[in-house]
A and B are shown apart, each in its own frame.
Chain A
């Protein structure tokens, strides 16, 4: 496939979180448990892909002086839509995500992709780039929430996985894991691991 790189690059070499270090705020906030993290990842993929597509379709008509405002209007429109749909059909998850769905609007990944990519590329490429970047963000979210839920609460997707016997032997869930500082440290460790095998990311 011709545009394969658009989808795979953001997963590794140009990952929005671990390489570009964007969107950290929501990464720390919604990764305590896996379920909200998965819904957040899906929401961001939908919003980046659709926003990229819409802006790319409009790119020749957008007046340059208000292009950022138009981009924001498109993002805000999509985010409000996603938020309303979640409230109607996934009420309990939308409660857990609370303000963070609304805060997708301020996620730098979105504005970054619109300004850097969708304004200069054709709709199909922009759409794929949006999916790729959303997936790159979502991938880190899911890895991080797996680690945090496993060590912080002893469960995965809400199901207890650490056997009761371990707790009787004195094993204790790590309370730090459910707080944001440990999330930041874990992101750091993920970046470290990524650089460990992807040598070209290391600055000379």
Chain B
């Protein structure tokens, strides 16, 4: 058969495509478990980092099993839902649903006799998604109508493609540490979230942190992310059972 002929061209391309597709399918299937494991390890590391527990690839499983004692799926009334694994919830899809239909993941951490709640957050930065985990220390007793979970214990943020040196700085400790000790409810027990302030937060305020110079849109996106994600847990913060 001539190399220039139509039949040869057709058969040749069909064979090439078949071979390439088979090879890729085999490789993709073979590498899939290792890839999923990486994603799981990263998620566990991020959850632990928000409760200020440092872990690396080798000890993350041990640390996670030791400190994260429970996890629930909640609805917006603060009740537990059975049958949905919180670890597998896709926050991006949940945020598209109306508030009352959302499944909310919550992780309970126990460390040095204190109980912590870890909540995943997901939102938009300048160039792509930003996400993270926020942890709260539980108060043993509170007045009627006041939240059990109010004070932030630690945060951990990550992003897909924010500008290096500007928006991408949300992953740095100088940005994350000021969140510690900030309250998301005011003295009257109303949800106020955390404001990320451009040009410097009021040092006396318990609800503000400094934004990032040159990363205004990322800072605003982060503020909106905290607001939309945390408000869904309001009933749970106050009932905590």
Which B31-86 residues sit within 8 Å CB-CB of chain A? Answer: 31, 34-35, 38-39, 42
Q: Are B164 and A32 closer than 8 Å at their CB atoms?
A: yes
Q: Are B4 and A84 closer than 8 Å at their CB atoms?
A: no
Task: Give per-residue flags for B145-166: 1 if the beta carbon is below 8 A from chain A beta carbons, else 0.
Answer: 0000000000000001101110
The interface residues of chain A, by DSSP majority, are classed as helix
Could you tell me how many residues of chain B have their Cβ less than 8 Å away from some Cβ of chain A?
25
CB distance from B156 to the nearest CB of A (A): 15
Q: Are B38 and A179 closer than 8 Å at their CB atoms?
A: no
Asked if A88 meets B35 with Cβ closer than 8 Å, knowing A32-B164, A77-B20, A98-B161, the reply is yes
CA of A84 to CA of B29 in the docked complex: distance in angstroms? 10
Could you tell me how many residues of chain A have their Cβ less than 8 Å away from some Cβ of chain B?
26
For A32, A89, A91, the residue with the greatest tally of chain B CB atoms inside 10 Å of its CB is A91
CA of A91 to CA of B23 in the docked complex: distance in angstroms? 22
Asked if A89 meets B34 with Cβ closer than 8 Å, knowing A64-B3, A69-B13, A73-B20, the reply is yes
CB distance from A86 to the nearest CB of B (A): 10
CA of A64 to CA of B214 in the docked complex: distance in angstroms? 52
Contact of B31 among A69, A88, A178 (CB under 8 A): A88
CB distance from A39 to the nearest CB of B (A): 15
Contact of B42 among A62, A84, A91 (CB under 8 A): A91
Contact of B28 among A70, A84, A98 (CB under 8 A): A84
Contact of A63 among B9, B20, B34 (CB under 8 A): B9
Contact of A98 among B17, B27, B160 (CB under 8 A): B160
Contact of B165 among A70, A80, A179 (CB under 8 A): A179
CA of A73 to CA of B14 in the docked complex: distance in angstroms? 12
Residues in B with CB closer than 8 Å to A61 are 3, 12
Residues in B with CB closer than 8 Å to A66 are 9, 12-13
Q: Are B35 and A70 closer than 8 Å at their CB atoms?
A: no
In the complex, whether A3 has a CB less than 8 A from a CB of chain B is no
Contact of B164 among A91, A98, A178 (CB under 8 A): A178
CA of A5 to CA of B123 in the docked complex: distance in angstroms? 53
In the complex, whether B143 has a CB less than 8 A from a CB of chain A is no
In the complex, whether B24 has a CB less than 8 A from a CB of chain A is yes
CB distance from B3 to the nearest CB of A (A): 6
Q: List 6 A-B contacts (CB under 8 A).
A: A61-B12, A66-B12, A80-B24, A91-B39, A175-B214, A179-B163
Q: CB within 8 Å of A: which residues of B?
A: 3-4, 8-9, 12-13, 16-17, 20, 23-24, 27-28, 31, 34-35, 38-39, 42, 160-161, 163-165, 214
Q: Which 3 A-B pairs have the closest CB atoms?
A: A88-B34, A91-B38, A63-B9
